[in-house]
Structure 1
Amino acid sequence: MNRFGSLVLLLACLLAPATLLAARHSHGHSNGQDHVGFGDTITIDDSHPAGDIVCAFCTIRIQGDHSGDLVSFFGDVQVDNNHTLSGDSVVFGGRLGLGDQTQMHGNLVLFGGELSQAPTANISGDRVVFAGTGWLLVLLSPLLIPIGLIWLIVHLVRRQRYRFPAYPPPPNRY
């Protein structure tokens, strides 16, 4: 596993329990159709409405009007054309795509990701956007020291393992 894979695994282990715990103990409005996901795809449309959505390492596809809050950690959110989002939205480390004639009435916080907004899309609530992955490096930099120490220990242990002797070359028969 490379360094990026190790970092993603560490972040998943740290963020997933907190995300799921926060979603289960939220004090906001709930209509019994809240969605909590990890590593999957959530599709919301008129036949599958949703309350609040909390997802880590997911893709959220909204194909209908949505009135609940939306939280996405390291996942993409795509809102199709001509739909309305009434609740607040938080996207951390992912992409938010707003289609034509999309209306966002709630507040938006996007950190360490990308906002892809069609020219006819409208965000009427407050908006805080820190686009780009450089913000993620600033936020995750305190984790680099423990990750570096763990990598160093693993590297030193692997280097000290017993090495099997090489087989002798076959005898020369000529």
Structure 2
Amino acid sequence: MPRRWLYLCFVVFLTALCVPRAHASTDRVSFMHDIHVGDTEEADDAVCFLCSIRVDGKVNGDSVAFLGGIRVKGEISGDAVSFLGSVDMGDQSRIGGDCVVFGGPLNLNGSATIGGDRVDFPFILVMLPFIVLALLIYGIVSLFRSRRYRAYPMMPPPPPMR
């Protein structure tokens, strides 16, 4: 029995030696709380769910906002993606990669630059599949309702009033 414990401790020790050491990451991930990268701050990536991202400093990676906007007064080295929100770029701001906006406006002010592609999907294009699906469901429901009530004759009109 003691030998098994010795073997188990040896395996745990070898496993601990092989595990890479963790390093501090400056990624910013938030849920329902806005992210603000200040003038003197840097972040690797910024991901925000149901909130907005404001970049006054520098983001070395990508910035992604779901149901929120991105305001850039500094620099984003990677891509900027906003789903159902806007991307507002201040004077002399820079996005190094692509800028993708689903269902919101892309506002460029002054000498703002985007290094990659600009992709802007209007809100109607985002909602078009849902509208088509709703119309299809409405058509099927009305078809079944009309067939269901077709078997019943119409009620006779009321007698005329004297």
TMscore range, shorter length: 0.5 to 0.7
The gaps in structure 1 that reach 5 residues or longer are: 1-29, 149-174
1:123 aligned onto 2:114: yes
1:94 aligned onto 2:77: no
RMSD of aligned alpha carbons: 2.5
Q: Which has the larger radius of gyration?
A: 2
Aligned to 2:69: 76
User: 39-48 or 69-78: which moved more?
Assistant: 39-48
CA-CA distance at 1:66 after TM superposition: 1.6
CA-CA distance at 1:43 after TM superposition: 0.4
Work out the CA distance in 2 between the residues paired with 1:91 and 1:38. Answer: 15
Aligned to 1:135: 125
**How do 1:1-174 residues align onto structure 2 when only pairs under 5 Å count?**
32-80=25-73, 83-130=74-121, 132-141=122-131, 144=134
TM-score by length of 1: 0.58
Work out the CA distance in 2 between the residues paired with 1:49 and 1:142. Answer: 44
Cα 1:45–1:138 change in 2 (3 A) is same
Work out the CA distance in 1 between the residues paired with 2:116 and 2:101. Answer: 13
Q: Secondary structure at the match of 2:104?
A: strand
Identity of paired residues, percent? 37
CA-CA distance at 1:125 after TM superposition: 1.0
Count of paired positions: 115
Equivalent AA in structure 1 for residue 90 of structure 2: G
Runs of 4+ in 1 over 6 A off after TM superposition: none
Work out the CA distance in 1 between the residues paired with 2:46 and 2:63. Answer: 5
Verify the 8 A CA contact 1:31 1:51 in the aligned structure 2: no
Verify the 8 A CA contact 2:41 2:58 in the aligned structure 1: no
The gaps in structure 2 that reach 5 residues or longer are: 1-22, 139-162
Q: Secondary structure at the match of 2:57?
A: coil
